[in-house]
Amino acid sequence: AKTLHQLARESGRYFGAAVDNPELPDTEYADLLGREFGQTTPGNAMKWYATEPQRGVFDFTAGDEIVAYAKAKGLKVRGHTLLWHSQLPDWLTSRTWTPAELRSILKNHITKVAKHYRGKVFAWDVANEIMNEDGTYRENIFYTALGPGYIADALRWAHAADPKAKLYLNDYNVEAVGPKSDAYYKLVKQLKADGVPVDGFGMQAHLALQFGYPDRLRQNIQRFARLGVDVAITELDIRMVLPSDASKLAEQADWYGRVTEDCLAVRRCVGITVWGYSDRHSWIPAVFPGEGAALPWDEKLARKPAYDAIRGAL
């Protein structure tokens, strides 16, 4: 039988799953990931706290481990992420910097990390989660010091360091048409008009059954594609309030199928990445207490209804 990635490949897409370093010794898990998927994203290994734990001191051990695993399994890698307000090292957040200092710190970080992974990642989430729900800029340390122009600068620095990588903006709660995705739509349009290197928009798609299916997802993907950028579903999972039952699992399966169809309906929707693939290793229970069962395989690595729904949609 064909794998999810082989099916996705037939329409020119990839189907991937994120992986985190502590999962690699679980060989049953890591082997299945390597067989079923064609792409991976490091769950944590390329974040700032991991790659620059001290100012100007870079550590690529964890990221290199994921790249080596991906190479061994024939998976392509999305880099995640060069700029984010979360999981920053203490040295960066525990004091205040002048705008000039922060600009030079950001430029150096993006340049060093993107250069290190040149030729090893095909895309970067250059900027992650830079907007608030109401479509205003999130007041992270970079925005506060540098103003909104830091996004264009980050994209330009990333492009200079790795001219071939596809450069993405990435966020959650942007799957539906609404104030947050509208803000990205305007931003991408402006960046394009200004000649800033932006190649893609990443929709994390951390969905939850209790919040309803994202309104007009397909049209939303379509409007970004019309701006001339790729769209990727970058961190898909569909959580539920526990305990799971047959009807929730059926609804979850339906949603997995719909997301897959909505992506495949738009030529420029280039691929889908699930944020882990089995409920054995998922970030959901730790971050959303009482919720879980968000992935297409269960804790025992048995396929759930969601798996068949994805298959059917591909």
Q: Is 128 in the site for ligand XIL (CB under 6 A)?
A: yes
Q: Which of 152, 274 has the CB closer to ligand XIL?
A: 274
Is 261 part of the annotated catalytic residue set? no
Q: Which of 175, 235 has the CB closer to ligand XIL?
A: 235
Q: Which of 28, 129, 175, 251 is catalytic?
A: 129
Contact characters 145-184, ligand XIL, x per CB under 6 A: ----------------------------------------
Q: Tell me how far, at minimum, the Cβ of 226 lies from ligand XIL, in Å.
A: 25
Q: Tell me how far, at minimum, the Cβ of 52 lies from ligand XIL, in Å.
A: 16
Q: Which of 235, 251, 261, 291 is catalytic?
A: 235
With CA atoms as reference, report the closest residue to 51 among 80, 20, 15, 17.
80
* Per-residue exposure over 172-204, b if at least 16 CB sit within 10 Å of its own CB, e if not: bbbbbbbebbebbbebbbebeeeebbbbbbbbb
Q: Is 20 in the site for ligand XIL (CB under 6 A)?
A: yes
228-257 binders of ligand XIL (CB under 6 A): 235
Q: Is 140 in the site for ligand XIL (CB under 6 A)?
A: no
42-61 binders of ligand XIL (CB under 6 A): 43-44
Q: Is 296 in the site for ligand XIL (CB under 6 A)?
A: no
Is 235 part of the annotated catalytic residue set? yes
Q: Is 283 in the site for ligand XIL (CB under 6 A)?
A: yes
Q: Which of 126, 314 has the CB closer to ligand XIL?
A: 126
180-219 binders of ligand XIL (CB under 6 A): 204
- Which sequence positions are flagged as catalytic? 129, 235
Using CB under 6 A as the criterion, which residues of the chain lie in contact with ligand XIL when the complex forms? 20, 43-44, 128, 204, 235, 283
